[in-house]
Amino acid sequence: MQILVLGGAGYIGGHTSVVLTERGHQVVIADNFSNSSRAAVARLEQVVGAPLPLHELDVRDSVGLERVFSQYRFDAVMHFAALKAVGESCKKPLDYFDNNISGTITVLRAMSEANVRRLVFSSSATVYGDPEQVPVREDAPLQASNPYGRTKLVMEQLIGDLCTADPNFRAAVLRYFNPVGAHPSGLIGEDPNGPPNNLMPFMCQVAVGRRERLQVFGDDYPTVDGTGVRDYLHVMDLARAHVDALDYLCNKDRSVTVNLGTGSGVSVLQMVKAFERAAGKAIPYDIVARRLGDSATVFADPGLAHALLGWKAEHDLDAMCRDAWRWQALNPQGYGSIIQPD
């Protein structure tokens, strides 16, 4: 099938483009490079061993989107293009509403007009807010704790309304828990702009010498060692889930909303230990105050994804840390260490 990957130059869209290509699909990437680069796409091409059609495009640009849709006959769209920093969303909520929500409306309209009726959408465990119960099931109460989370909640609702209005529209809404790791080649990986917000890329940058010490946000949570517990998931498992979800849309001809996680909770200090083993070096850290808005414990019940898509996470924590570290060690400055082709 021919698949339009919006946000395909980014971390998860890039890894998914690789798996799509490996599974025989033709990928077309569109991205505005607000949080990625052409260098990342050049590396993707190196991994798949073939050129990938690329369009520099903002998903809010309806004319540009229409042009891309008219150039190909897409069987489905995978929509990764969003801003994703929780802290930034609290400071600039309008930017998040515009980029994520307006962008998604523009994408949905372009799909309708081009008669493309299959969508795989990047949602997030953030739609559960601070969950009352773990493991979190898909029928748990939904709630936005910050503007970023609100955009995910609203986008899920918009997609749901479209599925109701158009009986032929099929969507797979994928609620990711904590994606980490990288392609085993070490050629592609996560390359955040500025200081990383997330634990894994921060540890990677400490290990490679770009940052001095990790700050552990709180050790007084009611957890195994007092630090926050999350459900970390290898990005290659996550990428595979997108292709499984696409198969589901085509074969079962039904829409679906599922959690994507391993189902296991890991504390910050357990994660630090696992990473130290993988990298073969110590990660110096300080315990500091809790980060505002953090939950104590969040992990998925991934049973529905297994039952419906036949998907299950396969990589363990050691593989996640090993692959994240390989990427960072080979690319200390991320994609910035590469000369960008024009």
Catalytic positions are 148
Instruction: Identify the H or E element spanning 279.
Output: helix 268-279
From 28-36, 53-61, 192-200, 254-262, span contacting ligand UDP (CB under 6 A): 192-200
Structure tokens at 28: 């077309």
List the one residue from 17, 178, 205, 257 that touches ligand UDP (CB under 6 A): 178
- Which residues from 273-302 bind ligand NAD, rule CB under 6 A? none
> Which position has the token pair 């010490």?
213
In whole angstroms, what is the distance from residue 233 CA to residue 178 CA? 6
13 is an interface residue for ligand NAD by CB under 6 A: yes
Smaller CB separation from ligand NAD, 58 or 75: 58
Smaller CB separation from ligand NAD, 10 or 135: 10
From 43-51, 52-60, 86-94, 323-331, span contacting ligand NAD (CB under 6 A): 52-60
What is the DSSP pairing of strand 170-176 with strand 214-217? unpaired
| Binding string, residues 98-137; x marks residues near ligand NAD by CB under 6 A | -x---x------------------x-x-------------
Contacts of 273 (CB under 8 A, 6+ apart): none
Structure tokens at 41: 């796409």
Q: With DSSP H G I counted as helix, E B as strand and the rest as coil, what are the percentages for the chain, rounded to 5?
A: 45, 15, 40
CB of 25 to ligand UDP, least distance (A): 30
In whole angstroms, what is the distance from residue 249 CA to residue 256 CA? 8
DSSP state at residue 145: S
List the one residue from 294, 308, 319, 332 that touches ligand UDP (CB under 6 A): 294
CB of 275 to ligand NAD, least distance (A): 17
CB of 125 to ligand NAD, least distance (A): 7
What is the phi/psi pair of residue 261, to 5°?
A: -160, 180
> Which position has the token pair 């960072």?
328
Query: Where along the sequence are the contacts to ligand UDP (CB under 6 A)?
Result: 178, 197-199, 202, 214-217, 228, 230, 268, 291, 294
